[in-house]
Amino acid sequence: MPVIMIFYYLITAYLVVLLVWNFVREKKKVEDLAQYLLVLIPLVLRILRIK
Protein backbone atom coordinates (compact mmCIF):
# COMPACT_ATOMS: atom_id res chain seq x y z
CA MET A 1 0.00 0.00 0.00
CA PRO A 2 1.50 3.40 -0.98
CA VAL A 3 2.41 5.78 1.84
CA ILE A 4 -0.14 8.38 0.76
CA MET A 5 -2.92 5.79 1.03
CA ILE A 6 -1.80 4.95 4.57
CA PHE A 7 -2.10 8.67 5.44
CA TYR A 8 -5.64 8.68 4.07
CA TYR A 9 -6.54 5.72 6.28
CA LEU A 10 -5.08 7.56 9.28
CA ILE A 11 -7.16 10.66 8.42
CA THR A 12 -10.26 8.45 8.08
CA ALA A 13 -9.57 6.82 11.44
CA TYR A 14 -9.15 10.28 13.02
CA LEU A 15 -12.53 11.39 11.62
CA VAL A 16 -14.13 8.20 12.97
CA VAL A 17 -12.76 8.95 16.44
CA LEU A 18 -14.09 12.54 16.26
CA LEU A 19 -17.55 11.38 15.20
CA VAL A 20 -17.73 8.69 17.87
CA TRP A 21 -16.56 11.19 20.49
CA ASN A 22 -19.25 13.67 19.42
CA PHE A 23 -21.85 10.91 19.43
CA VAL A 24 -20.92 9.93 23.00
CA ARG A 25 -20.98 13.53 24.22
CA GLU A 26 -24.26 14.54 22.56
CA LYS A 27 -27.15 14.44 25.07
CA LYS A 28 -29.89 16.58 23.51
CA LYS A 29 -30.37 16.43 19.75
CA VAL A 30 -31.52 13.14 18.23
CA GLU A 31 -30.96 14.59 14.71
CA ASP A 32 -27.28 15.19 15.46
CA LEU A 33 -26.87 11.68 16.85
CA ALA A 34 -28.39 10.17 13.68
CA GLN A 35 -26.23 12.37 11.48
CA TYR A 36 -23.01 11.36 13.25
CA LEU A 37 -23.82 7.71 12.60
CA LEU A 38 -24.85 8.28 8.97
CA VAL A 39 -21.56 10.06 8.26
CA LEU A 40 -19.73 7.20 9.99
CA ILE A 41 -21.03 4.51 7.61
CA PRO A 42 -18.75 5.15 4.58
CA LEU A 43 -15.77 5.86 6.83
CA VAL A 44 -16.18 2.56 8.68
CA LEU A 45 -16.65 0.68 5.39
CA ARG A 46 -13.42 2.24 4.07
CA ILE A 47 -11.40 1.40 7.18
CA LEU A 48 -12.66 -2.19 7.01
CA ARG A 49 -11.64 -2.16 3.30
CA ILE A 50 -15.12 -3.15 2.17
CA LYS A 51 -16.07 -0.13 0.02
Partner 1 sequence: MKRPGIVKAVLIFLFLVLVIQGGLQLYRHRHFDVPVVAGPGVTRVTRLSEFGPGLKKTMADPLVYFLEGKEPGGKAILLSNTHANEPEGLLATLLMIENAVVEKGTLIIIPQFNHSAGRNTRPGDGYPLYFEIPTDWGRKRFRLGNRDASPLDQWPDPDVYIHYPDRQLLSYIDARNVNRTWPGRPGGPLMEKVTFAAMEIMRREKVDVAVDIHGAETMFPVTNCIVAPEKSNRIATMAALTVKAKEGFDSHVEPSPSGFRGLSHREIGDFSDTLPFLLEAPIPFLDQPTGPKTEKFLLDGKDPFLLSLAQKKKLFVPYDASGWPLEKRVGQHCSVTLEILRQYSKKNPERSILVHGIPRYAEIVQDGVGHYFHDPAMADKDKIYLN
- Nearest distance, CB of residue 40 and partner 1, angstroms: 7
Using CB under 8 A, which residues numbered 3 to 42 contact partner 1? 4-5, 8, 23, 27-30, 33-34, 37, 40-41
- Nearest distance, CB of residue 35 and partner 1, angstroms: 10
In this structure, are residues 43 and 12 in contact, taking their beta carbons and an 8 Å threshold?
A: yes
Distance from C-alpha of 40 to C-alpha of 17, rounded to nearest angstrom? 10
Distance from C-alpha of 45 to C-alpha of 13, rounded to nearest angstrom? 11
Distance from C-alpha of 45 to C-alpha of 40, rounded to nearest angstrom? 9
Q: Which residues bind partner 1 (CB under 8 A)?
A: 4-5, 8, 23, 27-30, 33-34, 37, 40-41, 44-46, 48-51
